[in-house]
């Protein structure tokens, strides 16, 4: 099955902007992969932030946005807050099965 790749770790300054990406071993990520993004804090279950590339849930802070960028799915955080320090996972659809990326540990420092 496909392998989904994410940056293992990224650091952003408080108030800064950072983009996390999500690539696929099968080629370019498209809207047909229905990219999802999740946030997971230590000891908690994951929480969905973005679905279908760029749609937000009612609880998704406005500073998060999703897109397709250079053949990958992307999650952009604008105006990072200390509370955003967490692990972030993307999830892609492969015509039946889904595959998670390995996760990006985001540090706000």
Partner 1 sequence: EVQLVESGGGLVQPGGSLRLSCAVSGFSFSTYWMNWVRQAPGKGLEWLANINQDGSEKFYVDSVKGRFTTSRDNAKNSLYLEINSLRDEDTAVYYCVKGQMDAWGKGTTVTVSS
Enumerate residues 72-91 that contact partner 1 by CB under 8 A.
87, 89, 91
For 84, the token pair is 């955003």
What secondary structure letter does DSSP report for 32? G
Interface with partner 1, residue 97, by CB under 8 A? yes
Is residue 63 within 8 Å of 77, Cβ to Cβ?
Answer: yes
Interface with partner 1, residue 96, by CB under 8 A? yes
Q: Which of 48, 54, 67, 85 binds partner 1 (CB under 8 A)?
A: 48
CA 96 to chain centre: 20
Residue ranges that bind partner 1, judged by CB under 8 A: 1, 36, 38, 40, 45-48, 51, 57, 87, 89, 91, 96-103
């Amino acid at each position: 099955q496909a392998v989904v790749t994410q940056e293992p770790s990224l650091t952003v300054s408080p108030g800064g902007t950072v983009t996390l990406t999500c690539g696929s071993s099968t080629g370019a990520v498209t809207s047909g992969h229905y990219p999802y993004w999740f946030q997971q804090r230590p000891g908690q279950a994951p929480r969905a932030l973005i679905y279908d590339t760029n749609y937000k849930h009612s609880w998704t802070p406005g500073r998060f946005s999703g897109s397709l960028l250079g053949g990958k799915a992307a999650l952009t955080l604008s105006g990072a807050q200390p509370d955003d320090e967490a692990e972030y996972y993307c999830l892609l659809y492969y015509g039946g099965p889904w595959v998670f990326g390995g996760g990006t540990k985001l540090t706000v420092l």
